[in-house]
Amino acid sequence: MSEHQTVAEGAPGNPLVKSLVPLVVDAGIPIASYYVLSDGFGLSTVAALGWSSVVPALRTVWDLVRGRGLNGLALLMLIVNAAGLALSAVAGDARLMLAKDSAVSSVVGITILVSVRGRQPLMTAGLKPWVTKGSAAGNAAWDRLRAGSEPFRRAERRFSTIWGATLLTECVLKVVGAYTLPVHTMVWLGTVLTVVAVLLAMVVAGGSSAEPMEKMVKAEIERGAGDEERAAGAGAPAVAAAGAGG
């Protein structure tokens, strides 16, 4: 295997692209399809909103199916989204369908906040690969820090707390907007609120939690490597002495 092939296979994907893909699928396609279906094809507001939710729902199912294990957050969003869509379709209320999105944010946000009190905060599943870069040394350092470092665990909990609180705030704003602003306005404004909430959570949680955790993991990796070097150095004289004695 050539050096070029090794580098290509080991190179991680562009983080910016990975961050934008969910936003395009979950936000860009639904808002575009809503206006195409309502203004272009003459569908009712309720029907257009319903059909515009199909693509993000399918993506959630696909993410769940292709995952190596059960993704609790993806499953939660799938269940809440399906239930909210069914309820809105029965009610036939366009504003209720818009408010349904806030129900997703609120349930997910509350679940994330509750998980902070448990053994593993819900956002840890996405945080760990980002902090460790997926390396064996990084994963091992994460496990050691999580077992023996309270500052590390506190940063982990803070990361999920910020995300949960941000989603709850987004929920309140969407509910208010859904019942006070025109439906056409809230279709795009709701997406803007979601994007702003996600970006805000990424910046705040990243700066206050993810970055310090990355530094702790890096320092732990270096410390572990130093311990191995010292152990190897201490073992070398013993091996030499044993050889001389033989």
Alpha carbon dihedral 129, 134, 138, 142, in 10-degree steps, equals: 30
Question: Of the ranges 19-28, 54-63, 121-130, which one carries the lowest mean pLDDT score?
Answer: 19-28
Quickly tell me which residue has 């840890």 as its tokens.
124
Quickly tell me which residue has 């803007």 as its tokens.
192
Rounded Cα distance between 215 and 152, Å, is 10
pLDDT in tens, 85-96: 566 566 667 787
Rounded Cα distance between 9 and 19, Å, is 20
- Written as six digits, the tokens of 86 are 């069914």
- Written as six digits, the tokens of 232 are 């190897």
Rounded Cα distance between 76 and 111, Å, is 9
Over 60: is that where the pLDDT of 39 sits? yes
Work out the angle at residue 55's Cα, subtended by the Cα atoms of residues 22 and 26, and round it to the nearest 5 degrees: 25
Which pLDDT score, from 0 to 100, does residue 180 have? 92
